[in-house]
Amino acid sequence: MDFTKLLELVVSASLINNFVFTRFLGLCIFFGVSKRMETAVGMSITFVSVMVISAAVSWLIFFGLMVPLDITFLRIVVFIGVVAALVQTADTIMKKTSPVLYHKLGIYLALITTNCIILAVPLINAGEGYSFIEALAFGLGSGLGFALALTIMASIREKLELADVPRPFRGLPIAFVVAGLIALAFTGFSGLITL
């Protein structure tokens, strides 16, 4: 197994081609739970776990079941099913183990199901024909990238709470401006690793 390739996959998916800042995917959770650091960290952990497991499970189903049966055209439906089942599991586990966080995350926990990143990763894994380990690395990198984006955003938004932002821009609008400016900064990474 080529270790450099795996490292490149993780770094590329998390930093250089960060899903939030370069492809603008997964924005609803990104803006929804980045108001407080606590929820952002909770969501990050949940998100990374769901991401890695769903990347693994959908890879197994895609290459173990769908490719031999020649039903790859069903992949979107199947992947959504896989993700939905995983999110429901996470939902149930979290309700039992951490009710406080469960209530803070609220609707956004269920919304992981329809998160674009979590669907994009299995689709890209299938499209690029990554090996199982590579698919895991890509899932991990994407999850970490989203977690990173979420934590940065939460730290900035908590700092902005004290700022005298003009009234029409308070809350979500200024968060969009921040996201745009971070994306501007991240363009510096462009052309760094081309996969």
Partner 1 sequence: MAGEKKEHELIVSVSPHVKGEETVSRIMWSVSLALLPAFLMSLYYFGPGALFVTALCVITSVLAEYLYQKALEKKITVSDGSSFLTGLLLGMNLPPSLPFYIPIAGSFMAVVITKQLFGGLGYNIFNPALIGRAFLLITWPKAMTIWKEPTAIFVALDAKTTATPLGILKEEGIGKLLEAFGDKSNLYMQLLLGNRAGSVGETSVVALLLGAAFLLYRRYITWHIPLSFLGTVALIAWVFGGKGAFFTGDPVIHLLSGGLILGAFFMATDYVTCPSIRKGQIIFGIGCGAVTMLIRLKGGYPEGVMFAILIMNCFAPLIDRAVKTVPFGTVKK
Residue among 52, 36, 6 at smallest CA distance from 146: 52
Query: Per-residue b/e over 137-151, b at no fewer than 16 CB within 10 Å?
Result: bbbbbbbbbbbbbbb
CB of 63 to partner 1, least distance (A): 32
Binding residue (CB under 8 A) for partner 1 from 136, 160, 172, 195: 160
Is the Cβ–Cβ distance between 39 and 33 less than 8 Å?
yes
By beta-carbon proximity to partner 1, the closer residue of 22 and 114 is 22
Examine residue 152 and tell whether it contacts partner 1 (CB under 8 A).
yes
Tell me how far apart the alpha carbons of residues 61 and 64 are, in angstroms, rounded to a whole number: 5
Residue 174 lies near partner 1 (rule: CB under 8 A): yes
45, 126 contact by CB (below 8 A): no
Q: In the structure encoding, which two tokens stand for residue 60, read together?
A: 């197994």
151 lines the binding site for partner 1 (CB under 8 A): yes
Q: Which is nearer to partner 1, 9 or 61 (CB)?
A: 9
Question: Least distance to partner 1 from the beta carbon of 100, Å?
Answer: 14
Residue 182 lies near partner 1 (rule: CB under 8 A): yes
User: DSSP E strands: which ranges in the chain?
Assistant: none
Tokens 């609707």, residue located: 107
Binding footprint of partner 1, residue count (CB under 8 A):
29
Q: Which is nearer to partner 1, 132 or 189 (CB)?
A: 189
Q: Contact positions toward partner 1, by CB under 8 A?
A: 37, 151-152, 155-156, 158-160, 162-166, 169, 174, 177-178, 181-182, 184-193
